[in-house]
Amino acid sequence: MSDRRRPAGGRPEAAPGPGTPARRHPRPSREQLAAAADRLLPDVITPGLDVLFVGINPGLWSAATGWHFARPGNRFWPALHRGGFTPRLLHPSEQDTLPALGLGITNMVARASARADELTAGELVDGAATLTAKVERYRPRWVAVVGVTAYRIGFARPKAGFGPQPETLATARLWVLPNPSGLNAHFTPETLGAAFAELRAAVVAG
C-alpha cells in the first residue's frame, strides 16, 4: 500500500477536500425523489484502489443528490470513519476525496430504487457479472460488498457470511460487510464500525 493512499493508520495527515465534516445541503423534494427512480449513479473509482466498496444499489436520495449512501440515517460514512478508513467523518458530498485515500464506491445494481428489496434476483446476478468485469478493469486490492444477502444471491453463494471470503473476484480479495442502512436493526453504529475496522486491519496487513 503506497504512503500516499494508505487508510487510517498510515493515512495522510489531513483528508483532501473541504475542511468541515458536515456542510448544509438542501434536502431533495418529494418530486425530486420520485424523479430519481431508475436513475444511474456514477461510480467513485480509479485504477488500483486499496478497497472498492460495493453497495447493493443506489437509493432514491443518493440518485437525487448524486452522492453514494446519502440518505440521512444511512451509517456507511460513520462506519467508514469509525473503522479507521478516513481521518474524520466525511459528508456524502465529499465522496470524490475517497480515491486519494485508496477507496472507491460502486454498486451491484446501477439503477436506483426506493428499497433494495425491489431488485430481482436476476438483476443481482447480472450485477455480479458487471462487477466482476469492473474489478478486472480497475484491479482494486480488496472488494468489500456491503450487504450479505445481495452477495449470496448475486454470486450464488447461499452460505456466505460476513468477513473475508475464500474466493477471489478476479485478482481482488473479497470481504462482506453488514448493510449500513438504518433499516438494518441487527447492527448498531458501534458494531458496524467494528466490522469496518476488521476489514481495515486486513487491508493494512497486506
Q: Is the pLDDT of residue 15 over 80?
A: no
Q: Give pairs for 92-98: CB < 8 Å, separation 24+.
A: 92/62, 92/65, 92/67, 92/68, 93/23, 93/25, 93/65, 93/67, 94/15, 94/17, 94/18, 95/44, 95/67, 95/68, 96/17, 96/44, 97/15, 97/16, 97/17, 98/44
Taking residues 167-192, what's their average pLDDT?
Answer: 91
The pLDDT score that the predictor gives to residue 24 is 59
Ordered domains of the chain (ranges, CATH): 39-205 (3.40.470.10)
Query: What phi and psi values does residue 78 have, to the nearest 5 degrees?
Result: -60, -40
The pLDDT score that the predictor gives to residue 68 is 97
Taking residues 77-92, what's their average pLDDT?
Answer: 98
Sheet holding 163-169, edge to edge: 103-107, 51-55, 142-146, 172-177, 163-169
How high is the mean pLDDT of the chain? Answer: 88
Taking residues 117-143, what's their average pLDDT?
Answer: 97
**% of the chain residues with pLDDT over 70:** 88
Pairwise CA distance, residues 103 & 85, whole Å? 8
Taking residues 24-42, what's their average pLDDT?
Answer: 80
**% of the chain residues with pLDDT over 90:** 69
Q: Is the pLDDT of residue 103 over 70?
A: yes
pTM over 0.85: yes
Higher pLDDT, 60 or 44: 44
